Amino acid sequence: MSFMETPSRQALVLFAHGARDARWREPFDRLQQKLAVAWPQGAVRLAFLELMTPDLPACLPELAAAGVTDVTVVPVFFGQGGHLRRDLPALVDQCRQQYPSLRIRCAAAVGESDNVLDAIAAYCVASLVSTPPDAP
């Protein structure tokens, strides 16, 4: 098998902000578990910008040691704010220098996807309580 035919080992790293309240991470943990089931051929990890562990640099050594060559960081943020425009690119550059064997790329924030916005809109509409019109 030639180098070009050798499949690369891929990983998804869900990147979230982090919070002081440990319960805040519960939906992110559930998302990670759902992705691990939906994509069993790859590694799925969760990393945080601040206030929670692991941070992005801390989750990469295990992936590199496991033979992962391609890492896609998916910001689980609603929009492309300052953290994603400034902090994440600097963090990814630091990680690329620290782990040159890993190809690290970033996806857009999940909230930038029309599919995600459609799902949120459907949820919002479904949450409406039907009330009868006012009677005269």
Query: How many Å separate Cα 34 from the centre of its chain?
Result: 12
pLDDT for the residue numbered 26: 96
Enumerate the β-bridge partners of residue 44: 12
pLDDT for the residue numbered 81: 72
Q: What is the pLDDT of residues 1-12, one digit of tens each?
A: 334 434 459 999
Residue-averaged pLDDT of the chain: 88
Q: What is the pLDDT of residues 49-96, one digit of tens each?
A: 999 999 999 999 999 999 999 999 999 998 777 777 889 999 999 999
Instruction: Name the residue with higher pLDDT: 130 or 118.
Output: 118
* Residue with tokens 């992962």, as numbered in its chain: 68
The domain at 9-126 falls in which architecture? 3-Layer(aba) Sandwich (3.40)
DSSP 7-67: PPPEEEEEEE---SSGGGGHHHHHHHHHHHHH-TTSEEEEEESSSSS-BHHHHHHHHHHTT
Q: What is the pLDDT of residues 102-127, one digit of tens each?
A: 999 999 999 999 999 999 999 999 99
